[in-house]
Amino acid sequence: MITSGPVTSLIGMTQNTVEKTSVTLLGLGAMGTALARTWLAAGHPLTVWNRTPARAAALAAEGARVADSAAEAVASNTLVVVCLLDDTSVDEVLAGIDLSGRDLVNLTTSTPAQARARAEWAHERGARYLDGGIMAVPPMIGVPEAGGYVFYSGSRELFERHREPLAIPAGTTYVGEDAGFAALHDLALLSAMYGMFAGVAHAFALIRKEDIDPVVLAPLLADWLVAMAPTVHQTAEQLRSGDYTKGVVSNLAMQVAGTPTFLSTAEQQGVSPELLGPYFELMRRRLAQGSGEEDLTGVIDLLVH
C-alpha cells in the first residue's frame, strides 16, 4: 500500500506536475533525502522507500508517496533511482524484485567492477541500466551554484531519456557506455582529492608548533593549490603524446635534488615524512631510470602494474 502526505499538497502537486516524469527512489539516507527534496520541489511525482520507514515521514509531509516495500516502489514507476550505502545493500534491497522494463539508475558508490557487474545483472533481469557517481555532498544537491554534479555511464539512451529529471538534483556529466566509467571517474577525482588533503595535512603539520596562524596560512595554501592545478593539463598532454619531456619547466633531476630539503625540514619540525616520503621515493626511482629531463609524469607509469 502506498501512503502519502497531505491531500492538499498532492492536489497542488498534480496541478503542477503534468507530464513530469514520475520517479521512484530507494534509499533515504543523507544523500537520498537531499535528492528526494529536489524532485519534490521541481514537481516530479516521487515514490520513496527506505529500510527504516521513519526516515520517509518528513518527505511524505512534503508530498512524497511512501511505499511499504522496495518491490512496491519499483513497480510504481519506470524510472527507479537507487541511492543506498554500498553495492551489498543494493543487492539485498533488489533481490527477488521484478525489474523488467525498469530504467534503473544506481547512484550508490561502487567500484567500476561492481558497476559493470550490476549493469549485467540488471540487463539479465530485463532492466536498462545507468550508473552514477555523485561529485557532491548533500548540501550541494539542488544548489546549482555549488557546482556539484553526477558522473553517469552505461546506457546513453537511458541517460538521454531521463536527462531532465536527472539534471534536477545536480549537474550531469555522461562519460560513456561502459557502466564502470562513472565510478572510475568518481574515484579518480576523489583519489586526487585525498592526495591534495595529504599535502595539506603535511603543510599544516610543518607550522603546527610555530607562531604561525593556520588561518593566515590557509589562503596562501589554497591559492597555491589553485595556481598549481593547471599542471594536470600538461600531464595529460604528455601522457597522450608519450613525450614526457614536452614543456618541462621543473625537471625531475632538480626536483629530486630538492627532496632532502623537504625531508630535513620535516625532521626539524618534528613532522613524520610518511605522507610525502612514498611520493619522493617514486620520483627517485623514476630518476634512476634515466628520466632526469622529464617532470613528474613518469611516476604514473611506476604506479601502473
Identify whether the C-beta of residue 51 lies closer than 8 Å to the C-beta of residue 73.
no
Please, which residue, 95 or 304, has the CB nearer to ligand NAP? 95
Alpha-carbon gap, residue 303 to 60, rounded angstroms: 49
The residue of the chain with the least Cβ separation from ligand NAP equals 29
Looking at residue 94, its amino acid is L
For the bound state, the minimum distance from the C-beta of residue 111 to ligand NAP, rounded and expressed in Å, comes to: 11
Please, which residue, 105 or 283, has the CB nearer to ligand NAP? 105
Burial of 57 (0-12, 13-18, 19+ CB in 10 A): middle
Please, which residue, 182 or 287, has the CB nearer to ligand NAP? 182
Alpha-carbon gap, residue 103 to 78, rounded angstroms: 6
Alpha-carbon gap, residue 210 to 250, rounded angstroms: 30
For the bound state, the minimum distance from the C-beta of residue 164 to ligand NAP, rounded and expressed in Å, comes to: 22
Q: Sign of the C-alpha dihedral, residues 280, 286, 289, 293?
A: negative
For the bound state, the minimum distance from the C-beta of residue 142 to ligand NAP, rounded and expressed in Å, comes to: 14
Please, which residue, 28 or 203, has the CB nearer to ligand NAP? 28
Identify whether the C-beta of residue 75 lies closer than 8 Å to the C-beta of residue 54.
no
Alpha-carbon gap, residue 206 to 163, rounded angstroms: 47
For the bound state, the minimum distance from the C-beta of residue 192 to ligand NAP, rounded and expressed in Å, comes to: 15
Chain residues binding ligand NAP by CB under 6 A are: 27-32, 50-52, 55, 83-86, 89, 92-93, 108-109, 134, 137-138
Please, which residue, 81 or 252, has the CB nearer to ligand NAP? 81
For the bound state, the minimum distance from the C-beta of residue 152 to ligand NAP, rounded and expressed in Å, comes to: 14
